[in-house]
Amino acid sequence: MSHSFFPRGYVCLFVLLAALVLVPAPASATNLSVNCPTDNLQGAINSLDPLGPHTITVTGTCTEHITIDGKARLTIEAPVGLTATIQSGAPGDGIVVQVINSRVITLRRLVIRNGSIGVRLTVGSESRFEACTIENNTLQGVRVLDHSIGRFGGWEGAPFTSRNNGQQGVDAENSYVYLNGYVTIENNGYPDGGSGLRLVASTAYTYGYPGENIIRGNNALGANVMRNSTLTTWATLRLENNSLGGIQMWEAATALFIGFEDSGAFYGVIIENNPRVGLWVSGSHASLIGPHRIRNNGSGAENIGGVLLTGSATLSVQGADVSNNIGPGILVEANANLELSDSRITNNSQEGLLVRRLATAGLYTDPAYPLVLSGNGNANLFCDTTSLVYGDPSGITNIRCNRIEQEKGPPRGGRVHEEFDHGKPPKP
Out of 248, 274, 300, pick the residue that ends a domain: 274
Residue 426, in any domain of the structure: yes
143 & 254 share domain: yes
100 touches 123 (CB < 8 A): yes
Residue 62 lies in a domain: no
Indicate if 320 and 342 belong to the same structural domain: yes
The number of residues making up the chain comes to: 428
Could you tell me if 143 and 256 lie in one domain? yes
243 and 326 within one domain: no
* Domain annotation covers residue 207: yes
Strand partners, 346: 323, 374
Shared-domain flag, residues 214 and 235: yes
340 lies in some domain:
yes
323 and 337 part of one domain: yes
- Of the candidates 253, 274, 295, which is a domain's last residue? 274
270 shares its domain with 326: no
Q: What span, in angstroms and rounded, lies between the C-alpha atoms of 228 and 183?
A: 24
Indicate whether 349 and 264 sit together in one domain: no
- 3-class secondary structure for 152-186? ECCCCCCCEEEECCCCCCEEEECCEEEECCCEEEE
396 belongs to a structural domain: yes
Is 222 a domain residue?
yes
Interior CA angle at 364 toward 358 and 368, to 5°?
160
Range of the domain at 234: 139-274
Long-range contacts for 36-43 (Cβ within 8 Å, ≥24 apart)? 36/60, 36/61, 36/62, 36/63, 36/84, 36/85, 37/61, 37/62, 37/63, 40/64, 41/66, 41/76, 41/86, 42/66, 42/67
Q: Where are the beta strands (DSSP E) in 169-284?
A: 170-173, 176-179, 183-186, 197-200, 203-216, 221-226, 230-240, 245-250, 254-258, 260-262, 265-267, 269-272, 277-282
What local confidence, expressed as pLDDT, does residue 407 receive? 62
| Predicted local distance difference test score (pLDDT) of residue 234 | 97
Name the domain boundary from 240, 257, 274: 274
Q: Looking at the structure, do residues 282 and 240 belong to the same domain, yes or no?
A: no
Specify whether 403 is located in the same domain as 279: yes
Are residues 227 and 289 located together in one domain of the fold? no
Residue 35 lies in a domain: no
Is 267 inside any structural domain? yes
326 shares a domain with 425: yes
- The number of distinct structural domains making up the chain is 2
List, run by run, the mean pLDDT of 10-residue segments along the chain (428 residues): 43 42 59 98 98 97 98 98 97 96 98 98 98 98 98 95 98 98 98 96 97 97 98 98 97 98 94 97 98 94 87 97 97 98 97 97 92 97 96 94 74 45 45
